[in-house]
């Protein structure tokens, strides 16, 4: 395959040898299978902001660090330099999250390099050595659903223990590798301690997992892992290997009506996006 313009600089730098094929095109990037010596890897090429459909919502970018006050002012004013700085920060957020989570033992693709707006990382494969399918493309038995759900809940806990929340976790950004699920697509990852919307995002991520796997194992639809995980985190007792029950009784207190409505709106938007993706796939 002829190398796309965005990958030519990596070939010139000797980071990759050739482009095998395009693997997928998503809302914020295109992914290619590439060859690096004797190894097959993947290269994630971020789309320009004007060509992407994913909205860089302030909920995600809240409290993200920038290099200096000049960049911060430019980003706030929306100047050309500010938009470029915001785009660079958006891309580096995923790179930073991948390195941070890989170091914490979370099941994410191993990052290898980041050059000229291209993220080079390991290719997640299935038992046959082919690119692993997304979870939404796989039919599961009830036992498989329970097992993968258990694995992913443990990964959510491990991520939170490392201070990171995915923020957009669903069956569309989880790959089913030969040895189990692998979490991908992290440009919207947030710092759990520095984002005021962290709780809502964590609860939504966990609810998305329950809703998907609950199609195959209905008892998962009524599990309460999200509130249980957040309660442990808030009390400062959550560890990467903390055992969970999936049962949780909320403590009585003031009701955050605005927060509840936002969760409902998020769920409605997620369902709308899911239906649109299904229509595009048919």
- Residue 231 is among the residues annotated as catalytic for this protein: no
Catalytic residue among 59, 137, 143, 168: 168
What three-state secondary structure class fits 103?
helix
Provide the pairing of β-strand 111-115 with 174-177.
Answer: unpaired
Gap between the Cα atoms of 78 and 80, Å rounded: 7
Place of tokens 């443990």: 154
Please answer whether residues 233 and 192 qualify as being in contact, where contact means their C-beta atoms are separated by less than 8 angstroms. Answer: yes
Check residue 107 and report its DSSP letter. S
Q: Is 211 exposed, middle or buried (0-12, 13-18, 19+ CB in 10 A)?
A: middle
Contact 210, 137 (CB under 8 A): no
First to last CA, the chain: 26
Residue 170 three-state SS: coil
* Catalytic-labelled residue, pool 185, 191, 256, 266: 185
- Distance CA(30)–CA(47), nearest Å, equals 7
Sheet strands (E) in 10-79 = 18-25, 29-36, 39-46
| Helix and strand totals (H; E) in the chain | 8, 9
Q: Are 102 and 110 in contact (CB under 8 A)?
A: yes
Residues catalogued as catalytic: 168, 185
């Amino acid at each position: 395959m002829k190398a796309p313009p965005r990958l030519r600089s990596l070939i010139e730098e000797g980071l990759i040898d050739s482009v095998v094929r395009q693997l997928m095109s998503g809302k914020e990037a295109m992914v290619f299978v590439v060859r690096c010596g004797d190894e097959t890897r993947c290269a994630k090429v971020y789309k320009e902001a004007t060509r992407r459909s994913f909205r860089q919502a302030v909920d995600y970018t809240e409290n993200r660090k920038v290099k200096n006050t000049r960049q911060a002012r430019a980003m706030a004013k929306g100047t050309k330099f500010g938009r470029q700085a915001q785009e660079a920060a958006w891309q580096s957020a995923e790179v930073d999250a991948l390195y941070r989570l890989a170091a914490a033992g979370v099941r994410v693709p191993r990052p290898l390099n980041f050059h000229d707006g291209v993220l080079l990382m390991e290719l997640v494969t299935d038992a046959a050595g082919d690119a692993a399918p997304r979870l939404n493309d796989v039919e599961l038995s009830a036992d498989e659903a329970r097992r993968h759900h258990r694995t992913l809940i443990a990964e959510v806990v491990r991520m939170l223990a490392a201070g990171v929340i995915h923020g957009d976790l669903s069956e569309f950004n989880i790959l089913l590798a030969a040895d189990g699920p692998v979490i991908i697509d992290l440009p919207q990852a947030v710092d759990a301690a520095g984002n005021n919307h962290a709780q809502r995002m964590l609860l939504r991520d966990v609810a998305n997992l329950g809703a998907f796997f609950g199609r195959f194992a209905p008892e998962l639809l009524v599990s309460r892992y999200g509130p249980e995980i957040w309660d442990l985190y808030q009390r400062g007792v959550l560890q990467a290997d903390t055992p969970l029950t999936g049962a949780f009784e909320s403590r009585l207190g003031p009701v955050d009506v605005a927060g509840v409505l936002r969760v409902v709106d998020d769920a409605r938007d997620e369902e709308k996006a899911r239906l649109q993706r299904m229509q595009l796939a048919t």
